[in-house]
Amino acid sequence: MKEQNKVFITGNEAVGKAAIDAGCQFYAGYPITPQNELTAYMSRQMRKAGRVFIQAESELAAVNMVFGAAAAGARAMTSSSSPGISLKQEGISYLAGAELPAVIVNAQRGGPGLGNIGPSQSDYFQATRGGGHGDYRTIVLAPTSVEEAYTFTCLAFDLADFYRMPVVILSDAIIGQMAEGIVFRPPSRKYSLPPKDWALGRAKGQQNIIRSLYLGERVLEKHNLKLQRKYRLIERKEVRFHKHLPREASLLIVAYGSMYRLAKDIAVELEGKKNKKSVGIFCPLSLWPFPYKALAQACARVKNVLVLEMSYGQMLEDVKLALGRQKPIYFFGRAGGEVPEVDEVCRFILKHKLI
Amino acid sequence: MNFKRPRSLKDKITHYCPGCGHGVVHRLVAEVIDELRIRRKTVGIAPVGCAVLAYDYWDFDVSEAAHGRALAVATGIKRVRPDLVVFSYQGDGDLAAIGTAETLHAANRAENLTCIFINNACYGMTGAQMAPTTAIGQKTATTPGGRSPQEGDGYPLIISELLARLRGVCFVERTTVITPSDVLKTKKAILKAFLNQINKRGFSLVEVLSPCPTGWGLSPQKAAEFIKEKLSREFPLGVIKDEA
């Protein structure tokens, strides 16, 4: 691809561009830092493209407008940052219950409560365990670059339509606000998407009902089992990850999102110090479904595992589920809007003799 | 007169209590949709509350909405499908308590929607607790001594009058369904509220003071009297705004 096709753009705006390119017809958002660039971008570009942009009166209204647009068969998206995503959980649970496709973007910031506006990965539990009420899952994609913010958002719309469920793009203040030069190349479409005959206003003769209420005896159980079958299918089909595993690696760093970038810097720094490639990196791109098997396989040859997060150990629990007692698992994390530094993580690795 | 079931209404026995106003208003909505010949392009939003199962009785597309979010959901549908006729059907708790923000802002954006607001002055579904529209002195499951502003229960919320002040709202009328003449007036108001949407006039709302004999602990006759003597004094009947 030619260099002149490159565009210098922030992660938040790349998400917006992807939504436009993926045919998103409806966007509703509410102001919150650090994702304001995305709402501003959508306010310009959606209306320019003849599509719908609404600045909603609340996060609740925004996600429920998305519910309506999705129920009418449109591709729809909303975005926010951590405190706003907490408010959206009601709508996400209803989207999951009613099997409606939608894309929800979370540019994570420090918490809990109002927290601060620094980058964070402290919403991992909320994103991967459901967040709202009821037995449901959302597909969670975590981009590690501006380019992936673009391609993953394009992909998210296809996944949402294919599986009829909400898909979460989990980025953070770093991925959202940094700018990189990228070429807009939508990923090739591998999902065959049938017409949305279930949507409202199709006038096909039958009555279409969008619902998540099932009162009859065992009817809700049956609905839940159907959802569970869908989730098991996704666990088989939609696992995504990056893996760098040099032959001589003795340590595997497990990190996602912006921490994957830090892990790569750490690997280079330690290669300089030790004169060999002693660090491998495993980066889950789909946080749900989590790449349990692939991670267990990647660990086979290394001696130690280090989980690196901007939280106090949330993905760590999935790593433990993947590895059990197979390897010693170490953890390094900072949160509250603070970003671990390469030097302090290298010191930690050397102090604990992980390589 | 040839009395028959509207095409937009299914041949089903409803789960509503004897004397409840929902059945009457469901039928009026169905009659209006038939008369406007819009059944195949109408979408209703069922609320959380007694009327959540409205799709079991109406024979056109219906979406549920989370409690209070009906007009946000309606906004999403109407904005991506302006060719559809979209209405919300909401109770007092849904529209004027947990969903006040969604109601006010959809109206204020002049969303081209129709809202049918069933005011029965209590949360009928959950055992008749106090609603924002419960009358002063009215006994409910959570105001056993009667609603008392002095005790901190607040005043009956006149949401229709508040909405009528907004520039985005073109039509607000309050009616009831306790006499045949009231029923006819309600139908006329509902027809107007749908016509306004078809003619792209913006936001229209019809508030119906609706009897809840079970929730009020009254016979259907006494419930009708309660509306006439008490509720319609807190919430005066008539056209509140008509700029259509």
pLDDT for the residue numbered B1:
61
- Measure the CA–CA gap between B240 and B204, rounded to whole angstroms: 11
Q: A196 and A336: one domain?
A: no
- Measure the CA–CA gap between A239 and A244, rounded to whole angstroms: 17
Which tokens is A204 given?
């096909």
- Measure the CA–CA gap between A327 and A320, rounded to whole angstroms: 9
- Measure the CA–CA gap between B244 and A73, rounded to whole angstroms: 31
Domain CATH code at residue A212: 3.40.50.970
Q: Do B64 and A208 touch (CB under 8 A)?
A: no
Average pLDDT, chain B: 97
The parent domain of residue A52 ranges over 3-237
Summarize the confidence of residues A244-264 as an average pLDDT.
97
- ipTM > 0.95, yes or no: yes
- Measure the CA–CA gap between A6 and A49, rounded to whole angstroms: 22
Give the residue from A46, A63, A207, A219 with the most B CB atoms within 10 Å of its CB, the best one to mutate. Answer: A207
Q: A132 and A146: one domain?
A: yes
Using the 3D structure, point to which of A206, A237, A268 is the last residue of a domain.
Answer: A237
A64 CB neighbours in chain B (<8 A) are: 65-66, 69, 72-73, 76, 102
How sure is the predictor about A99, in pLDDT bands with cuts at 50, 70 and 90? very high
Give the residue from B39, B63, B105, B113 with the most A CB atoms within 10 Å of its CB, the best one to mutate. Answer: B63
Summarize the confidence of residues A98-124 as an average pLDDT.
97
- Measure the CA–CA gap between A279 and A297, rounded to whole angstroms: 16
How sure is the predictor about A188, in pLDDT bands with cuts at 50, 70 and 90? confident
pLDDT for the residue numbered A155:
97
- Measure the CA–CA gap between B195 and B198, rounded to whole angstroms: 5
Using the 3D structure, point to which of A188, A210, A237 is the last residue of a domain.
Answer: A237
Report pLDDT digits (tens) over B77-126.
999 999 999 999 999 999 999 999 999 999 999 999 999 999 999 999 99
- Under 8 Å between Cβ of A28 and A51: no
Report pLDDT digits (tens) over A197-206.
999 999 888 9
Q: A217 and A318: one domain?
A: no
Surface of B (64-93) touching A: CB under 8 A: 64-66, 69, 72-81, 83-84
Report pLDDT digits (tens) over A19-76.
999 999 999 999 999 999 999 999 999 999 999 999 999 999 999 999 999 999 999 9
Q: Do A69 and B79 touch (CB under 8 A)?
A: yes
A210 CB neighbours in chain B (<8 A) are: 62-64
Q: A266 and A118: one domain?
A: no
Domains of chain B: 22-242 (3.40.50.970)
Using the 3D structure, point to which of A186, A210, A237 is the last residue of a domain.
Answer: A237
pLDDT for the residue numbered A1:
52
For chain A, the domain total comes to 2
Does the beta carbon of B62 lie under 8 angstroms from any beta carbon of chain A? yes
Q: Do A210 and B76 touch (CB under 8 A)?
A: no
- Measure the CA–CA gap between A300 and A172, rounded to whole angstroms: 31
Does the beta carbon of B101 lie under 8 angstroms from any beta carbon of chain A? yes
DSSP B62: E
Summarize the confidence of residues B58-66 as an average pLDDT.
98
Q: A228 and A178: one domain?
A: yes
DSSP A205: S
A25 CB neighbours in chain B (<8 A) are: 80
Domain CATH code at residue A255: 3.40.50.920
- Measure the CA–CA gap between B159 and B207, rounded to whole angstroms: 9
pLDDT for the residue numbered B54:
97
Which tokens is A242 given?
């990056």
Q: Does residue A5 register a pLDDT over 90?
A: no
- What is the amino acid identity at position B68? G
Q: What are phi and psi of A16, to 5 degrees?
A: -65, -45
Q: How far is A51 from chain B (nearest CA, A)?
A: 8
Q: A102 and A138: one domain?
A: yes
pLDDT for the residue numbered A213:
97
Q: Does residue B142 register a pLDDT over 90?
A: yes
How many other C-beta atoms can be found within 10 angstroms of the C-beta atom of residue A21?
A: 15
Instruction: Name the interface residues of A facing B (CB cutoff 8 Å).
Output: 25-26, 28, 52, 54, 56-58, 60-62, 64-74, 76, 90-91, 94, 98, 200-203, 207-213
pLDDT for the residue numbered A130:
81
How sure is the predictor about A3, in pLDDT bands with cuts at 50, 70 and 90? low
Q: A181 and A258: one domain?
A: no
pLDDT-above-70 percentage for chain B: 100
Q: A291 and A310: one domain?
A: yes
Q: A175 and A297: one domain?
A: no
Summarize the confidence of residues B12-20 as an average pLDDT.
96
| Residue in B52, B73, B109 closest to A213 by CB | B52
Summarize the confidence of residues B6-10 as an average pLDDT.
97
Q: A248 and A229: one domain?
A: no
Q: A313 and A171: one domain?
A: no
Q: A216 and A305: one domain?
A: no
Cis-peptide, bond into residue A289, ω within 30° of zero: yes
pLDDT for the residue numbered A345:
98
